[in-house]
Amino acid sequence: MRVQVIPASAEDRTTLRNLLQLYLYDFSEVLPRAPDPDGTFPYPHLDAYWTDEWRKPFLITADDDVVGFALVRTVSVVTGSAGVADMAEFFVVRGLRRHGVGRAAAHLLFARFHGTWEVRVIEHYAAARAFWSAIIADATNGACERTSWVNDEGLRFDVFRFDTAAAI
């Protein structure tokens, strides 16, 4: 399967917004949240991915079909430091999980943004933690710093901080 990570253009905004609904629905299992009265899950920062220089939206394709997305920031959410690639959101549709699509997409993103990365995973989200632990260990030969961080909403995260410049 040929996996690509393609910068999302303004014309891709509706596609990304639709995929984001699937992602946020998946998250409602981990973070019990109901949709808004119109039946959608809010994500107030999506439009900023086409206006803020430090936000980068991507579509993930497999054999030319759109199968996911990634939202990357070039500023650390944890420390506020510039020049740190932050995996803000990452999603692959359920039917293609465990088929190497997520792994390939993550590696393509790591190669696109050489240097320091941070990936935050909600502490009790075991499946995401297992996925990112394996992907990051593979990308860095195990050279990764792991810390905890609590956001403004009181959610606790495992933070994976690593450098891809030498590993990829």
pLDDT band at 44 (very low <50, low <70, confident <90, very high): very high
Would you state the structure tokens that stand for residue 38, as one six-digit string?
């119109």
8 A C-beta contact, residue 75 and residue 81: yes
Torsion of the alpha carbons at 41, 43, 44 and 45, rounded to the nearest 10: -170
Distance CA(57)–CA(158), nearest Å, equals 23
**pLDDT value, residue 166:** 55
pLDDT band at 141 (very low <50, low <70, confident <90, very high): confident
What residues are paired with 156 via a beta bridge?
Answer: 150
Query: Mean pLDDT, the chain, as a whole number?
Result: 92
Q: Long-range CB contacts (< 8 A, 24+ apart) of 98-102? A: 99/1, 99/62, 100/1, 100/3, 101/1, 101/3, 101/60, 101/62, 101/67, 101/68, 102/68, 102/131, 102/135
- Mean pLDDT of the 100-107 span: 95
What structural domains and CATH numbers belong to the chain? Answer: 3-163 (3.40.630.30)
8 A C-beta contact, residue 77 and residue 88: yes
What residues are paired with 160 via a beta bridge?
Answer: 119, 146
**pLDDT value, residue 150:** 93
pLDDT band at 162 (very low <50, low <70, confident <90, very high): very high
Least confident of 27-31, 61-65, 159-163: 27-31
Distance CA(165)–CA(114), nearest Å, equals 5
pLDDT at 168 over 50: no
Higher pLDDT, 27 or 105: 105
- Mean pLDDT of the 21-46 span: 89
**pLDDT value, residue 32:** 76
**pLDDT value, residue 48:** 97
pLDDT at 34 over 90: no
pLDDT at 167 over 80: no
- Mean pLDDT of the 5-9 span: 98
Distance CA(88)–CA(55), nearest Å, equals 9
